[in-house]
Every structure is written in C-alpha cells, then in structure tokens.
C-alpha cells in the first residue's frame, strides 16, 4: 500500500466519525476492497468496516492499527520505521536527510578526519553535514550550483585555483541534497566560500546570498565575454530580471558588481555548463 492510503485508513480507524471526506485515495480503496460505502458526497465506515481495515493492515503491511497512529513514522529513520510495520518507506525522513555531496579538485585529496582521501574523477562523497563540520581539514569551500558541473568538475576548461589550493567542493543542492543543509554547513564551517554558479542574474543572487561569500569563480573576462556573445541567451536573462535586478543593483560586492555590469551590457545569460569540455 502507498503511505497516503495507510495513513488515511489509520485516521478512519481511530476516528469516532462514521462519515469521511471522499478523497481520491479513500474512494479508490472503497471501490477496490469493497470496505466502506459511498453516501452522497462522503464515504461511510461502520465499526465492522473499521475491523476489516484493522485486519487488512495487519495482514498486508504488518501494521497493528490498535497501537499505531497516522503520524507514527514522523521523524523516524527507515530502520526505526520497521518497528511499526513492514514498510520502511513510511517514514517522512528523506533517505539523504542531513547529507551533502562533496569532493576535491582533480588530483587533490579530501581532507577529512585527519586523513587524505583521493576519489576518482566523476565520484563524490555523500556525507553527514554536521560530521563534516567537525572533521573538515580544508581551508576554503568551492560551491557548485549545478550537478553536471559538480559531477564533471575535472572537465572544467579554466583554472579553478581562485578558490584556493585545495578547497572542499560542495554541491549546492537539489531535491536529493537539500539546500538548507548546505547552508547550515557553510554557516558552521565559517570558511571562505567561493561560488561557481551560472553566469546569469539568478546565479549572482545565489552567490551573494551564501554565508561567508568570498568571491565568484569565473574564466578570464575575455573568454566569458566571448561566450556571452556566442550563446545569445537573451530570454533567460530577461526572465530573471524582475526578481534579481533590485538586489544586484544594490550590491557593493566587487565580484558581483563587475559581472552584473557585464551581463547588463550584453543582456544575455550563460549556464556554467558552457565551460565543460565538449560543450
């Protein structure tokens, strides 16, 4: 059973009401299992129906409805959730909760817990951010906005040493790696943070908002300007202006202000993936 159906059935079982809203998930259950009945715009469940629900949950999911409430799994790990039934996916905690993705520059080592770890190109480390705070041996951070560039950092076509001799590289986050965990990490590390983001208004806003922001990572100005002329991504630039323009106009950070002036002069945007080999 899906989690939404299980929690809905537990609500029905523990409720003193007979009638319940005819949600899609409950309506399909009534039709498919012939437990409960439709009464007008509602669904009705008798005491006998609730007993059938109890038996069904116990037989199919190993869930004892008499001792299990709908929010029983909130905050539990997958392993802990098994104590309340046979489905480890009922927890509301993400599999990668509190995790971030990190790596080092090509030819460099991750400095963690007093050890040097060298990863092959295209490989990253999935790690608990709070553990990393206490065990990080790096002196700077290089934050990467997009996954493809993070994954293929060894194929970036310009020098990244602006971020330091051996920065720890951190992926900014996505639905898999939460951005708030990354922000917590950057705050707690209190190290200079260099940002490699898209060269567009939204990317500049992201960079400027980073804790301990120390500078933008970009190719030589001539290469960047030539790329802006080549890509001619005018619509992306215009689409981002309404939310970003006021913030960027007020920026007193030299890196941000200089690149903002360049973007305005061309009226174009450039994804950071442009600077990967064979773009």
Query: Which residue among 90, 107, 132 closes a domain?
Result: 90
- pLDDT digits over 140-155, tens only? 999 999 999 999 999 9
pLDDT tens digits along 211-220: 999 999 999 9
The predicted structure's pLDDT at residue 77: 45
The pLDDT confidence band at residue 178, using thresholds 50, 70 and 90, is: confident
pLDDT tens per residue, range 16-35 = 999 999 999 899 999 888 89
Q: Examine the domain organization and report whether 38 and 134 are in the same domain.
A: no
Same domain for 65 and 173, yes or no, is no
Choose one of 73, 90, 107: the last residue of a domain. 90
**pTM as predicted:** 0.68
Query: By residue range, what is the domain housing residue 131?
Result: 99-275
| CA–CA gap between residue 168 and residue 141 (Å, rounded) | 5
Q: What is d(CA 99, CA 109) in angstroms, rounded to the nearest whole number?
A: 20
Asked if pLDDT for residue 87 goes beyond 90, the answer is no
- Are 118 and 246 in a shared domain? yes
Based on the domain organization, do 195 and 229 belong to the same domain? yes
**Residue 56 binned pLDDT confidence (cut-offs 50, 70, 90):** confident
Q: Is there a single domain that holds both residue 165 and residue 110?
A: yes
Distances (CA, A) of 271 to 33, 40, 208, 249, 257: 51, 54, 17, 21, 18
My answer on whether 82 and 113 are in the same domain is no
Same domain for 122 and 235? yes
pLDDT of residue 237: 95
With a pLDDT cut of 70, the percent of the chain lying above it is 90
84/114 same-domain check: no
Residue 171 maps to which CATH number? 3.40.1360
Structure-block tokens of residue 192: 């200079």
Of the ranges 49-58, 84-93, 157-166, 168-177, which one carries the lowest mean pLDDT score? 84-93
Q: Measuring CA to CA, which residue among 165, 122, 160 is closest to residue 143? A: 160
pLDDT higher at 163 or 56: 163
- Dist. CA 183–CA 198, nearest whole Å: 18
Q: What is the pLDDT of residue 81?
A: 43
Task: Pick the more confident residue, 88 or 191.
Answer: 191
For residues 72 and 113, state if they share a domain: no
209 and 82, same structural domain?
no
- Please give the tally of structural domains in the chain: 2
Looking at residue 141, its pLDDT comes to 99
Which of 42, 71, 90 is the last residue in one of the domains? 90
Q: What is the mean pLDDT of the chain?
A: 88
The answer on pLDDT for 186 being more than 90 is yes
Does residue 71 sit in the same domain as residue 19? yes
- From the list 171, 177, 157, the residue with the least C-alpha distance to 273 is 157
- The pLDDT score that the predictor gives to residue 231 is 86
Q: Cβ(194)–Cβ(109) under 8 Å? A: no
């Amino acid at each position: 059973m899906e989690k939404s159906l299980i929690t809905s059935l537990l609500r029905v079982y523990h409720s003193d009401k007979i009638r319940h809203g005819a949600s899609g998930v409950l309506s399909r259950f009534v039709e498919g299992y012939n437990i409960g009945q439709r009464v007008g715009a509602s669904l009705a469940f008798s005491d006998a129906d609730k007993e059938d629900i109890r038996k069904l949950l116990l037989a199919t999911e190993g869930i004892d409805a008499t001792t299990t409430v709908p929010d029983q799994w909130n905050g539990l790990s997958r392993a802990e959730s098994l104590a309340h039934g046979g489905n480890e996916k009922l927890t509301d905690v993400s599999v990668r909760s509190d995790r971030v993705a990190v790596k080092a520059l090509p030819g460099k080592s991750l400095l963690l817990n007093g050890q040097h770890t060298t990863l092959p190109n295209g490989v990253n480390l999935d790690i608990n951010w709070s553990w990393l705070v206490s065990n990080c041996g790096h002196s700077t951070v290089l934050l990467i906005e997009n996954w493809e560039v993070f994954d293929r950092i060894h194929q970036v076509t310009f020098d990244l040493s602006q971020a330091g001799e051996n920065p720890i590289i951190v992926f900014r986050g996505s639905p898999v790696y939460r951005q708030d965990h990354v922000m917590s990490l950057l705050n707690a590390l209190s190290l200079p943070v260099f940002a490699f983001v898209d060269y567009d208004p939204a990317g500049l806003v992201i960079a400027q908002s980073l804790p301990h922001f120390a500078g933008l990572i970009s190719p030589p100005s001539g290469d960047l300007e030539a790329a802006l002329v080549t890509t001619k991504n005018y619509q992306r630039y215009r689409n981002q202006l309404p939310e970003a323009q006021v913030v960027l106009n007020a920026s007193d950070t030299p890196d941000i202000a200089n690149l903002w002036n360049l973007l305005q002069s061309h009226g174009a945007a450039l994804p950071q993936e442009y600077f990967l080999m064979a773009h």
